[in-house]
Structure 1
Amino acid sequence: MTVEGGLDEPEELEPAQGSLDLASPEDVWTAADWEREAAAVLRKARRLGEEDADQLVWSKLTKTTLDGIGIKPLGTPEDLAGLETSGRPTRQGDWDIRAYADGRQAKLANEEALVDLDGGVTSLWLRVDADTDLDTLLDRVLLDLAPVVFDGADPATTAGYLKDRELHPETNLGVPAADATGDVARAAQKLEVRGFVVDATTVHDRGASDAQELGWSMAAGAAYLRTLADAGLSVDEAASLVEFRYAATDEQFPTIAKLRAARRLWARVLELSKASESTMRLHAVTSRPMMSKYDPWVNMLRTTVAAFAAGAGGADSVTVLPFDSPLGRPDAFGRRIARNTSHLLIDESHVAQVADPAGGAYAVEKLTDDLARAAWDVFGRLDDGEDLDAEIAATVAKREAEIAKRKRPITGLTEFPNLDEVLPERAPTDEWDDVRRYGASFEALRDEPAETPVFLATLGTVAQHTARATFATNLLAAGGIRAAAGEHDGERVVCLVGTDAAYDESGAETAAELRSNGAEWVIVAGKPRDWADDSCAMGVDALDFLNRTREKLA
């Protein structure tokens, strides 16, 4: 796959008068130097042996995405060899700060929208239905200044409401691209607004990978072009009426690469469709599945990283979902933090001042190209009539396995859980009924905490058992299980924590003593022992272990 338009060569600048050299002549480092220093760190962490070659740091530190794409720890000029795609984002300057609100409660949503607009939001994304009172919902909203993107609206009703009003050109009737018709397209043209959305977050919410999300969106976009072409519109007319929506996650570089790849892919689709232009309107939304119901404050960090990646990746509009969204309808504080996240990134961090700030970085260019090619393969299969359900199911299973083993940690849920936290109360909503959060399996355990604790039997001094005691306590808490210390009082499930030397010396004796005092299930924190019924250590399938332990507690 080849996309027209390459990267411009940077202009050669004359050094400023009085400028300083950035490095001394002897301050020259090679890849071998980096390998040596990185290998030393890995040896200290026991991830490399003393006899292992330094070059193994590349394989040890390379992360593999769910699409099987390797992300090296360090970009090198060689990464640019063999790239098949090129292009750069078209957005320059500040991105549009778009707030989301459930407009089915029109009066409440109107109040939320007006506060958001007064707080600096520049557009609205509103969910509506057939019964939504648009007069109430949009009361005092200046439609010529603040574009509104509708979600779930009847296009005829919406077009009738907007008729004879002065509208911002980025207003969108919000019809799913799969439901596109010539009548809706002509209605949008008459209003001089957009009419359609390719919403790839629908497959992201089901668990799709980045390449699957991109490939699905290209298939949906191509089908949309065919539909409107059959209805008598030109490719350029059809392309001008649609907006693409993608999820932005807290995986910073994959999100940047995904949005950059989306523009390259759509440019290629339009090129093959004989379009005269290759512009793309791109809306990024912070991922719903990545957010957690427990310790929801961590969602602020997740959405900040996601919003940064969306802006750096070239999104035209960015929606930051409030941190308390998984709990119900967000309150005023959650909405304020959400909109101010973009303001801080734009106005204080100046992220938007540079167009395509990640462009030219070896690792990002390589990742963008790899992701674009993987997505093009998915697009090809879908365009040939294949179904994506089985591939998404495989991705979900792979992600679930990595989360279960805590290779994909979820702070506040699988890592550092707090069983004593009091969750903020929010009004219930059905907004997230179709979203499976990545930590759903652990959340289900937390929803129904175990009624009895696991007794923590410590061996040796505090300094000797603290590390494993902390590990076991946190692991158990991730499954809604408390750990009790002190004197064993007949608890049926116990966990021994100590050093390997302590286990060798007195582990069997201690386990036998605990059993004589009523223990029925003995766990050891560390490698399995023949005198223990179960064990837990780094790399254990935490979900499986926690379910086994809860069964014994029950």
Structure 2
Amino acid sequence: MTVLPADGLSLAAEFPHPAHEQWQSLVEGVLRKSGKDVAGSAAEEALSTTVEDGLITRPLYTSRDSAPDAGYPGFAPFTRGGKAEGNAAGGWDVRQRHTLSDPARLNEAVLADLENGVTSLWLTVGGIGGVPVSALAGALDGVYLDLAPVVLDAGSEFDAAAAELLRLYAERGVGAQTARGNLGADPLGQAARSGAEPALTAAVHWAQRCAQEFPGLRALTVDALPYHEAGGSAAEELGASLATGVAYLRALTEAGLCVEEACAQMEFRYAATADQFLTIAKLRAARRLWARVSEVCGAADAGAQRQHAVTSPVMMTRRDPWVNMLRTTLACLGAGVGGADSVTVLPFDHALGLPDAFARRIARNTSTILLEESHLARVIDPAGGSWYVERLTAELADAAWAFFQEIERSGGQAAALRSGMIGERLAATWAARSRDLARRKEPVTGVSEFPQLTERPVEREAAPTEASATGSGGLPRVRRDEAFEVLRARSDAHLAATGQRPRVFLAALGPASAHTARASFASNLFQAGGIEPVHGPVPVDAATAADAFRAGGATVACLCSSDTLYAEQAGAVAEALGSAGAQRVFLAGRPGGYTGVDEYVFAGSDVVAVLSSLLDRMGVA
């Protein structure tokens, strides 16, 4: 019989304590086999990855990786969560977004959501695509406003929408102490979206009234989505939100509110992406940074930043949209683990138009599964104590603070938007990311990787055109799939006009063991541009290449095999294909100077540039 020690299980005490240098030595051996002769810290650096904002993700984190004290959940600096009990009291607020303009349809969707797990409503009111302010009462017919918090997104019509919501509270007997939600004023966010000058007067007025009469109602939203949707990095999103929050603090305190009251009037909205660790770190860093702002402003007891996380619109794809369910699940997980107070999961068909009932159901059930079946909220700060997460949180906070200071030096958020400084910074970040997307260093499943040309398109009712996408002067909206979507749209138009997609003949040289990997690579690559791969007889050689190419109905060809067989056969087969009428002969592999080969495709090449040029050559408009 084994007797346990008095303090419990011995766990790893029976194992020898490894040194960091021992691990590095093992890494050196593995790298040496792959042709990289590096030693010591250089071996570790060879396995490190540079991510956005210049942050470096290392292959191993240990207790030597220092980070600032994260404190305790519910206490400053709130890195570990805004509440001492975390989300254990019932999980995060499941907030569904609604953009229907017809009040009857909106009411039907709202009631269905509330009956099936949604706990608060995010309504687009007024403007393009929102329900008219005058129809808000009908849209909320049958909704218990004392139980279901309402968050408005009314843009320039904020003043009228706020007045109408408060009128409904009074009309339906919802007391001032009972009202919950957010009136949604965000003049700087609206300025970022539209390019207009921010109008703070109405926002300040409603913040004063909420502070005096409605303790559970907030007036202001600090929406960081405009910066995320313009291509900004996590640090830029955080820095812009801090600068916006500080601008609102100044306006509210100048109007007579104390710092604590001003902080209580704001809710911060952030994007949650499928990079769950970055999402976790971003939300933790945001609370820490805002706690620092509050402390500097003299309100160390202002409490934690109130956070609303929204699954990223940038990551949503139009092709193979079913994959968006996986993306939003990861994003929701990251938001929950990161400590968001409210989470909105965008429907998987968000990029295609107005979501249907099935898509809304899947969206709300994503949170339900994570809360009720995965029990994600039963652990307070699940990522706390992870050396990787703590270090990533600290490094991201430092990068965000540097951008925030840059904005402040330029005169504050309004001045930085007006001068174009923020727009230029975000554009540069997106340009760099676009290069990675084009080279598939950042793959997009179903679009740049593993596309399906035969997939059945998902069709939805068109959503109203966003104001900032019509050239009104605001920040642009970008998507990760946009460059590949242009290519696929060209292929679709060609199919509709001719009855056939553009084709590429894949000439496989040698046995399956030699050509399968590169044939799969080439097939995947060309389909990302809507070009249908045609497989000829296997294997093909110089004697059979011409006939096989003509039979395939393609206009270009690509050789696929091993480097050894390329050296023996590539030149002869390429020349045979050229003689058979191939407009362009590609080779899947690194450039090798083979006779008859016009272009090479390989991992890391600019796929968008290659495919765009090829479609031009093939006469695909």
| TM-score between the two structures when normalised by the length of structure 2 | 0.82
Partner Cα separation in structure 2 for residue 24 and residue 382 of structure 1: 51
Tell me, in whole angstroms, the C-alpha distance in 2 between the residues paired with 1:225 and 1:81: 29
Alignment partner of 1:88 is 2:90: no
Residues 469 and 287 of structure 1, relative CA distance in 2, 3 Å threshold: same
Q: Which of 128-137 and 191-200 deviates more? A: 128-137
- Residue identity matched to 2:478: R
Which residue among 329, 337, 341 is the counterpart of 1:316?
341
Among 458, 473, 478, the alignment partner of 1:436 is 478
In structure 2, which of residues 266, 278, 298 is the aligned counterpart of residue 274 of structure 1? 298
1:19 deviation in Å? 4.7
Return the alpha-carbon distance in structure 2 between the equivalents of residues 43 and 345 of structure 1: 43
Distance 1:16 1:84, change over 3 A: closer
For residue 185 of structure 2, the aligned residue among 148, 157, 175 is 175
Q: What letter corresponds to residue 115 of structure 2 in structure 1?
A: D
Q: Hey, what's the Cα distance between the residues in 1 that align with 2:405 and 2:368?
A: 39
Deviation at 1:431, TM superposition (A): 6.2
Distance, in Å, in 2 between the alignment partners of 1:169 and 1:63 is 48
Distance 1:304 1:334 in 2: 13
Paired AA for residue 396 in structure 1: W
SS in structure 2 of the partner of residue 388 of structure 1: helix
Match of 1:239 in 2: 263
Moved more, 234-243 or 218-227: 234-243
Letter in 2 for 1:173: L
In 1, distance between residues paired with 2:148 and 2:29? Answer: 55
Picking from 153, 157, 165, the partner of 1:158 is: 165
**Counterpart residue number, 2:584:** 521
Q: Which amino acid aligns with 1:370?
A: E
Query: Are the aligned partners of 1:323 and 1:338 in contact in 2 as well (CA < 8 Å)?
Result: yes
Q: Counterpart in 1 of 2:49?
A: 63
Note the alpha carbon deviations across 1:185-233, whole angstroms, 9 max, x for none.
2332324411110000111011111110000001000000111112221
Residue 53 (structure 1) shift: 2.5
Find 2:24's aligned residue among 16, 24, 35.
Answer: 35
Query: CA contact under 8 A between 2:503 and 2:555: conserved in structure 1?
Result: no
1:159 partner amino acid: L
CA distance in 1 between partners of 2:31 and 2:444 (Å) = 24
The Cα of 1:170 is off from its aligned counterpart by 3.4
Q: Cα RMSD over matched residues?
A: 2.2
Whether the 8 Å contact between 1:159 and 1:188 is mirrored in structure 2 is no
Deviates most, 416-425 or 275-284 = 275-284
- Shift in CA distance, 116/34, structure 1 to aligned 2, threshold 3 Å: farther
1:284 corresponds to 2:309: yes
Would the aligned equivalents of 2:82 and 2:303 in 1 still touch at CA under 8 Å? no
Alpha-carbon separation, structure 2, partners of 1:206 and 1:222: 21
Alignment pair present for 1:536 and 2:601: yes
Query: SS where residue 549 of structure 2 aligns?
Result: coil
1:505 equivalent in structure 2 = 568
In the TM superposition, what are the counterparts of 1:416-455 in structure 2 within 5 Å?
A: 416-430=450-464, 433=469, 435-449=477-491, 451-455=501-505
> Deviations along 1:243-267, whole A, 9 cap, x unmatched?
1000001111111111011111111
Q: How many residues align?
A: 537
User: Corresponding residue for 2:543?
Assistant: none
Tell me how far apart the structure 2 counterparts of residues 43 and 413 of structure 1 sit (CA, whole Å): 35
Tell me, yes or no, if structure 1 residue 230 matches structure 2 residue 254: yes
Sequence identity, in percent?
44
The structure-2 alpha-carbon separation of the partners of 1:448 and 1:552, relative to structure 1 and needing over 3 Å to count, comes to same
Tell me which of 397, 420, 426 is aligned to 1:392: 426
Structure 2 CA distance for partners of 1:169 and 1:355, relative to 1, 3 Å: farther
Q: How far off is 1:305 after superposition?
A: 0.8
The one-letter amino acid of 1:513's match is: A
1:337 counterpart letter in structure 2: I
2:375 and 2:465 map into 1 onto residues whose CA distance is 33
Q: 1:147 aligns with which of 146, 149, 160?
A: 149
Report 1:244-259 matches (<5 A): 244-259=268-283
1:312-367 residue CA offsets vs partner (Å, 9 max, x unmatched): 11100011111111111111111111111111111111211122221222111111
Q: 2:385 aligns with which of 341, 356, 360?
A: 360
Q: How many Å separate the matches in 2 of 1:37 and 1:349?
A: 37
Structure 1: how far apart are the matches of 2:205 and 2:290?
24
Per-residue CA deviations over 1:70-104 (Å, capped at 9, x if unaligned) read 12222211211677995431141211111111142
Call closer, same or farther: CA 1:394–1:521 in 2, change over 3 Å. same
Indicate whether 1:477 and 2:530 are aligned: no
Specify the code of the residue in structure 1 equivalent to 2:117: G
Deviation at 1:122, TM superposition (A): 0.8
Amino acid in the other structure paired with 2:123: L
Structure with bigger helix share is 2
User: In structure 1, how many angstroms separate the alpha carbons of the residues matched to 2:25 and 2:326?
Assistant: 33
Distance 1:217 1:503 in 2: 54
Question: Displacement, 1:308?
Answer: 0.7
Which residue is equivalent to 2:326?
Answer: 301
C-alpha distance in 2 between matches for 1:288 and 1:40: 43
Shift of 1:39: 4.9
State the partner residue of 1:548. 613
Match of 2:233 in 1: 209
Q: Which runs of 5 or more residues in structure 1 are unaligned?
A: 1-14
Deviates more, 1:320-329 or 1:450-459: 450-459
Q: Partner letter of residue 157 of structure 1? A: E
Under a length normalisation based on structure 1, what TM-score does the superposition of the two structures give? 0.92
Specify the SS of the correspondent of 2:380: coil
Measure the CA separation in 2 of the matches of 1:270 and 1:238. Answer: 10
Bigger drift between 362-371 and 205-214 goes to 362-371
Q: Alpha-carbon deviation of 1:33?
A: 4.0
Aligned pairs for 1:129-140 (under 5 A) are 129=126, 131-132=132-133, 133-140=135-142
- Whole-angstrom CA distance in 2 between matches of 1:296 and 1:485: 28
Matching residue's letter, 2:12: A
Secondary structure at the aligned position of 2:288 is classed as helix
Amino acid at match of 1:71: T
Whether the 8 Å CA contact 1:177–1:221 is kept in 2: the answer is no
C-alpha separation in 2, matches of 1:383 and 1:242: 19
**Which of 514, 534, 538 pairs up with 1:464?**
514
* Residue of structure 1 in register with 2:96 after alignment: 99
SS in 2 for 1:292: coil
